[in-house]
Structure 1
Amino acid sequence: MMKTAIAAALLAGLGLAGHAAAGPSYGKPFHACMERAGGVTQAMIECIGEELDRQDARLNRVYRERLSELVPARRALLQSVQRQWLRYRDANCGFYYDPDGGSIARVLAADCRLRMTAERADELDALGQR
């Protein structure tokens, strides 16, 4: 019973209140999709996947912009850091996918990947504004 209540609370906050203030900014289509999903796991995962595609494209665009602004030595360093960050993101979010965690584990793992990708895009974008 407690596990169900915790899962319901987590699902209610994903993409809506959970990331509103200090977290990454997601597009309006994501918020609308999550509203339509109505807490249905598969629908939520699809919403997260669509936003992940958008955020991943944004991350790649911003990453290429930062690379183009750097001298060769710094460019090589950013490439190395980005490869390490990708490995960390994948390992970290893979941890959220607990095979015994039920359907909530799939949502949490997908949300982790989305959140970390959007935050990294925000971070690299901010570097260009210095």
Structure 2
Amino acid sequence: MFKHYLLGAGALLAMACAQADDYSSTYTQCMDKASSTLAMGACIQAETKLQDDRLNRVYKQLMAKLDAQQQKDLREVQRTWMKYRDGNCAFHGKLSNGSIYRIEGAMCEMDMSKDRAAELERILSPGQ
């Protein structure tokens, strides 16, 4: 059982490191030093906050450039997206009672927030 746990933790760490180019250097450094799922969770939590701040910033910038109807549409889509993200990531986090699944759920939220921020950035500044 412990061997299975170590293999799972190793796989998650490898997955996190493989995606590190899309994240802050602080996150990459934190994950490189993380020696437990608790430490990994702290890294993920800090990066999720950074990505959420990025998402909120670009959302506000985009809203400022849109007309009233487009603002209404974006607000509705964003609320739907948030509900989906939260439900989807909660599902990932509850597949088992193990800490690996909680880490996977947290990574899901971090990844989806990063991807959504990038999507809104592309809309805000097309062609860049």
What is the aligned counterpart of 2:110 among 98, 109, 114?
114
Does residue 35 of the first structure (1) align with residue 32 of the second (2)?
yes
**Code of the aligned partner of 1:117:** S
Structure 2: gaps of 5 or more residues: none
Where do 4+ consecutive residues of structure 1 move more than 6 Å?
none
| C-alpha distance in structure 2 between counterparts of 1:72 and 1:112, whole Å | 32
Count of matched residue positions in the alignment of Structure 1 and Structure 2 = 125
Q: 5 Å matches for 1:53-68? A: 53-68=49-64
Over the aligned positions, Cα root-mean-square deviation in angstroms equals 1.8
* Pairwise CA distance, 1:11: 1.8
Corresponding position of 2:8: 7
| C-alpha distance in structure 2 between counterparts of 1:95 and 1:3, whole Å | 22
- Give the number of the structure whose residues are more often helix, by fraction: 2
The change in CA–CA distance for 1:86 and 1:56 in structure 2 (over 3 A counts) is same
1:54-106 deviation per Cα after TM superposition (whole angstroms, max 9, x unaligned): 11000000000010000100110000000000000000000011263411011
Q: 5 Å matches for 1:1-130? A: 3-4=4-5, 7-17=8-18, 19-20=19-20, 25-38=22-35, 40-98=36-94, 100-130=96-126
- Superposition TM-score, scaled by structure 2 size: 0.89
1:4-54 deviation per Cα after TM superposition (whole angstroms, max 9, x unaligned): 46513422223211x257xxx21000000001113x100000000000111
Structure 1: gaps of 5 or more residues: none
Identity of aligned residues (%): 37
